[in-house]
Amino acid sequence: MEARLDKGRGPVATLLVQNGTLHVGDVIIAGMSVGHVRVMLNDKGQPVEEAGPSTPVEITGLAEVPAAGDIFNAVEDERLARELVEQRKYNQKEEQFKQYQKVTLDNLFSQIAEGEMKELPIIVKADVQGSAEAVKQSLEKLSNDEVIHSAVGAVNKSDVMLAQASGAIIIGFNVRTDQTVRDSAEQDDVEIRLYRIIYDAIDDVKQAMKGMLAPKTREVELGRAEVRAVYKISNVGTIAGAYVLEGKVARNALLRVVRDGIVLAEDKIASLKRFKDDAKEVSQGYECGIGLEKFNDIKEGDIFESFIIEEYRD
């Protein structure tokens, strides 16, 4: 019914048992994912050892996040289950590579006008399965769109490879991507567009189809920092002890909190310090203390992305 990627527990899926009884330890296969039922919780969040027909449960133990609506089966032979999943993945990629020719959002209108393209292939990545499905369904309502792949998690190299081979663009909702993937996308001329609001993604595609895509602002990334420690200070709040990995963190810039490729928040910086002194910016290779105006659920390992939004003319 739903699936997501949890930092501590890995892929988490909510299932509704239809026939038979599901037990902890069972080998299950769901769409393109296979694994063991490691932990099973009932609708009250309590651990259970088995679940019968018409019982909803939340499980962990799958290797990947399945798609909402996938039929799951408990099986006896794990080796055969894994072989079946690999064959399904191979067949899906082969089918995707055969069907689509390369196109970009920027030349979409001209190709439609010249009759060279019938549809725009799109790859959707989102923070949870429900969001991925919402973006997919909204895009597919546009007459020239075809979502060839949708999944949960950060945009990765496999997405870029699929986009390059199929001529698709990648639309990410509430997710990010790392520098290695961005470099690969730039090298392969693959377009990645990241959004926080579903309407903005839909509107951009609509405008491109009409030949009117003309954004008035753009994001400029300044740098990235990693949270190495978290401090709770009375009368101050939560302070992140961070190390700047690349670029710089600027006091007057916006800050995006990313955990496992998922965007948790975008906020303003309330305080930026080097040791006990206030700082306007902190550069790569240095440590700093960062406090945010609103977001306090900071954890070690979180990535801070410092960026600004600038206006420009076409």
Report the phi/psi class of residue 266: left, alpha or beta, with left for phi > 0 and alpha for psi in -120 to 50. beta
pLDDT reported for residue 98: 54
pLDDT reported for residue 209: 66
pLDDT reported for residue 286: 96
pLDDT reported for residue 243: 97
**Whole-angstrom Cα distance, residue 172 to residue 170?**
6
Do 201 and 171 form a contact (C-beta atoms < 8 A)?
yes
pLDDT reported for residue 73: 85
**Whole-angstrom Cα distance, residue 271 to residue 237?**
11
Helices (H), 62-209: 78-99, 108-113, 129-140, 157-166, 179-187, 198-209
pTM: 0.47
Pairing of strands 277-278, 72-75: unpaired
User: Over its length of 314 residues, how does the chain's per-residue pLDDT go in tens digits?
Assistant: 788 888 888 899 999 999 899 999 999 888 888 888 999 999 998 999 999 999 999 999 898 888 888 888 888 888 888 888 888 887 777 676 555 445 555 555 555 555 545 567 889 999 998 888 888 888 887 755 567 788 898 999 989 988 888 778 899 999 988 889 999 998 888 889 899 888 888 888 777 766 544 456 778 999 999 999 999 988 888 999 999 999 999 999 999 999 999 999 999 999 999 988 999 999 999 999 999 999 999 999 999 999 998 876 55
Q: Which residues of 14-47 are buried (b: 16+ CB within 10 A; e: fewer)?
A: bbebeeeebebebbbbbbbbbbebeebbeeeeee
